């Protein structure tokens, strides 16, 4: 299917465990983004990538790791999950970065116990 997909859609894990959230897009967009959405904070950028093998920090990168070996995939890893990382995570992509519309995935709801 064309578009941007995220997996899993829901995840429950325990404090200290490693978790990887997957994001896949079929448009061959250059840019990909990871956001978290929390009540009271709105959407905040975690990391973004301008191309394969190029990543950069956003507003709240601590505790997260990203990689982008292929243009279409942009996984987000929580190396040692904490309760404060309980959130809804959205992946997005765009063709030319901020000058262009961003297209969002459906989100992953992560709960850290």
Partner 1 sequence: KQEVTQIPAALSVPEGENLVLNCSFTDSAIYNLQWFRQDPGKGLTSLLLIQSSQREQTSGRLNASLDKSSGRSTLYIAASQPGDSATYLCAVSGNTPLVFGKGTRLSVIA
CA distance 41 to 51: 28
* Rounded distance between C-alpha atoms, residue 17 and residue 58, angstroms: 23
Q: Which is nearer to partner 1, 16 or 29 (CB)?
A: 29
Q: Does 99 bind partner 1 (CB under 8 A)?
A: yes
Instruction: From 12-20, 38-46, 64-72, 73-81, give the range in contact with partner 1 by CB under 8 A.
Output: 38-46
**Nearest distance from residue 105's CB to partner 1, in Å?**
6
Minimum distance of partner 1 from residue 49's CB (angstroms): 11
Q: How many helices (H) and strands (E) does the chain have?
A: 0, 11
Q: Please, what is the minimum distance in Å from the beta carbon of residue 53 to partner 1?
A: 19
- CA 36 to CA 109: how far, in whole Å? 10
Query: Exposed, middle or buried by CB within 10 Å (0-12, 13-18, 19+), for 98?
Result: exposed
Contact positions toward partner 1, by CB under 8 A?
Answer: 33, 40-45, 48, 58, 90, 92, 97-107
């Amino acid at each position: 299917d064309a578009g941007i997909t995220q997996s899993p859609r829901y995840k429950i894990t325990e404090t200290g465990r490693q978790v990887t959230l997957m994001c896949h897009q079929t448009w061959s967009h250059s840019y990909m983004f990871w956001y978290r959405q929390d009540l009271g904070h709105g959407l905040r950028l975690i990391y973004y990538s301008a191309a394969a093998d190029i990543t950069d920090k956003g507003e709240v990168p601590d505790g997260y790791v990203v990689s982008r070996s292929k243009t279409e995939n942009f996984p987000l890893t929580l190396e040692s999950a904490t309760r404060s990382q309980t959130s809804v995570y959205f992946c997005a992509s765009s063709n030319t970065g901020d000058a262009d519309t961003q297209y969002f995935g459906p989100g992953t709801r992560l709960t850290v116990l």
